[in-house]
Amino acid sequence: MRTVRDAVFDIFRRYELTTVFANPGSTEVPLLAGLPDDLRFVLALHEGSVVGLAIGWALGRERPALALLHSAAGLGNAVNAITTARENRVPLVIIVGQQDRRHLALEPFLAGRLDRLAGDYPVRVDQPVRAQDVPGAVLRAFHEATTSRGPALVVVPMDDWQAPFDDETVAAPARLLRPVAVADADLAPLVELLTGARRPALVAGSGVGAGWSALVALAERLGCPVYQESFGGRAGFPQDHPQYAGVLPDDRIRLRERLRPHDVVLAVGAPVFRQYSYEPGPLVEPGTAIALVTDDPAVAHRSPADLAYLAAPESVCARLAELLPTPARGGAFSRASGREPYVGGPLRHVDVLHELAGRLPHDVVLVEEAPSARPDLHAIVPARTSFGFISAAMGGLGFGVPAAVGLRMALPDRPVVAVLGDGSTLYGVQGLWSAAHYRVGVLFVVLSNGRYAVLDRLADKHGGGKGPWPPFTEVDLGAMSRSLGCPAQRVETYADLTATLDEVLPSLATRETPLLLDVAVGVDP
């Protein structure tokens, strides 16, 4: 007898969902016991790491990844990572186990109220009415995750897996096509706006994805500066290009000043415009027109733009580069530079970043989760490929460690470096076990200052007095890493730093075991 489980496994195979990231419980055992040999199971020790690994895997392979969560406890633990997947626009199919359908009405032990537990962050949540509807729900979740570029959830009671599935209909298309061409007539208003601009500018966002060539062609045709969106989850433009002009400020006063010279600003794959602390006033000065190209409906609908296109950025940029005339402008544009290299004394995080920048290979995949060091990382370490800067756009901690592991699993021939704060590392430290167990050769560079330095800075800026949170200098991340099976080294001096990087980085692309560098740094002013 063909079962629901058999039908879902066939869907996994057909749509390349053959790696299952999970931390299972009893409600998932009927699915996993006797898992076929052609399906790979990857264990993580916390559900945040489960989804974090899946995020990295999906980013690296540029297609949906599969995660399995355990009822209310597992889904609840993973909500932070699910919000990151949504904000980073990473396609995930997430199956959530549920208690036996036959006594759910009595709310048995481990039954979960799951439909709204993750809030509005999933792009779809499905609780199939019948067991036989599960395969269609899983396939629809794959299509929804791909189309909306986000996490799609399917809640499956544990007894559904063994239900019969002979001659049943799968309520989803076997193949779904998404044409992306944009007609020249539809582009005419944007062509007119850019052709008449005296000093245009582009803002590149993570929504550009890996298709940089079209945006580069458009930038070079316009001969204008290109800014990176603030708090983006991914670099949207090569940051060693002469037209790259740095990351946009995340407050309105400095944003208006930075964009003041431009009469037209076109945001590509980026919202208009991402901010942090609230400040009153408009985003741009009067007289500056804003245009937007995005394939995210939510971004298109909420952005205060004069002209917005809901379309594939790569297709629009490629055609604009052909339609626009070449203006009489061009050249390099100034941007903020990094601080001076090491000058003696205790290590600072900028010293670590300088030494990394001089040694990282061109094709490095760099995952960042070091909030207090992020501005200096942007200034010192340019992203030279679309994977040269990956971060959590949502801002919740716990992304860096597991995402780096998932990325290296998906891209085994590329060097992967995670630059992390010690506070951030503690949120996703369980991912080190998965890195060690599955022999995933990521280099974790932890900037250890024994405190939440970014919070200290915010308290100083707020002016309301010192924050009540203590430092956590007792934490030994090296010992914690080794206890999880991941080798670790303590780095306390400049000589130790340079010697270690010289030893490790040349072989990083072929490394089969992870390594955590616990780098002692002071608190930069």
Can you give the residue ranges of every domain in the chain? Answer: 4-162, 184-323, 349-520
Average pLDDT, the chain: 91
Indicate the pLDDT class of residue 335, thresholds 50, 70 and 90: low
Q: What is the pLDDT of residues 2-26, one digit of tens each?
A: 999 999 999 999 999 999 999 999 9
> Is the pLDDT assigned to residue 171 strictly greater than 90?
no
Is 70 exceeded by the pLDDT of residue 333?
no
Q: What percent of the chain has pLDDT over 70?
A: 97
Distance CA 291, CA 222 (A): 15
Q: Of 261-265, 334-338, 339-343, 433-437, which range is least confident?
A: 334-338
CATH T-level fold of 4-162: Rossmann fold (3.40.50)
Q: Which two tokens stand for residue 276?
A: 């942090």
Q: State the pLDDT at residue 416.
A: 97
pLDDT in tens, 424-472: 999 999 999 999 999 999 999 999 988 787 787 777 777 777 878 787 7
Residue 175: predicted pLDDT: 84
pLDDT at 180 over 90: no
Q: Sort 450 into a burial class: Cβ within 10 Å, 0-12 / 13-18 / 19+.
A: middle
The stretch 207-213 carries a mean pLDDT of 83
For the cut 60, the answer to whether the pLDDT of residue 310 exceeds it is yes
pLDDT (tens digit, 9 = 90+) per residue, 78-116? 999 999 999 999 999 999 999 999 998 899 898 889 989
pLDDT of residue 82: 97
Task: Give the span between the Cα atoms of 412 and 415, in whole angstroms.
Answer: 8
**What is the pLDDT confidence band of residue 477, given thresholds at 50, 70 and 90?**
very high
* pLDDT at residue 124, rounded to an integer: 95
CATH of 184-323, one of 2.60.40.420, 3.40.50.2300, 1.10.8.60, 3.40.50.1220: 3.40.50.1220
Q: Report whether pLDDT(68) > 80.
A: yes
Instruction: Give the residue carrying structure tokens 């899946």.
Output: 54
Cα 267 to chain centroid, rounded: 19
Q: For residues 480-490, b (16+ Cβ closer than 10 Å) or e, as one string?
A: bbeebebebeb
HSE, side-chain direction, 13 A CA sphere, residue 358: 12
- Cβ(226)–Cβ(164) under 8 Å? no
CATH architecture under which domain 349-520 falls: 3-Layer(aba) Sandwich (3.40)
pLDDT at position 276 is: 86
Instruction: Tell me how far CA of residue 159 lies from CA of 29, 261, 272, 273, in angstroms.
Output: 10, 63, 47, 47
What are the start-end ranges of the H helices in 101-239? 134-148, 184-195, 212-222
pLDDT for the residue numbered 450:
82
CA distance 1 to 250: 59
Confidence of residue 332 (pLDDT cuts 50, 70, 90): low
Mean pLDDT for 237-254 is 93
| The predicted structure's pLDDT at residue 338 | 52
Strand partners, 234: 390
Q: Is the pLDDT of residue 337 over 80?
A: no
Residue matched to tokens 């995080």:
349
The backbone torsions φ and ψ at residue 123, rounded to the nearest 5 degrees and listed phi first, read: -75, -15
Is residue 279 scored above 90 in pLDDT?
no
- Reply yes or no on whether the pLDDT at 355 is more than 90: yes
| 506 band by pLDDT with thresholds 50, 70 and 90 | very high
Q: How far apart are CA 93 and CA 8, in angstroms?
A: 12
Distance CA 414, CA 44 (A): 22
Topology agreement, domain 4-162 and domain 349-520: yes
Chain centre to alpha carbon of residue 412: 18
Return the closest-CA partner of residue 333 out of 242, 398, 234.
242
Residue with the larger pLDDT of the pair 4 and 342: 4
Neighbours of 260 (CB within 10 A): 12
In the chain, pLDDT over 90 holds for what percent of residues? Answer: 78
Judged on CB neighbours under 10 Å (0-12, 13-18, 19+), 334 is exposed
Contact 386, 417 (CB under 8 A): no
Q: Which of 172-181, 237-246, 383-392, 451-460 has the lowest mean pLDDT?
A: 451-460
361 has pLDDT over 70: yes
Q: Can you say whether the dihedral through the CA atoms of 89, 146, 314, 386 is positive or negative?
A: positive
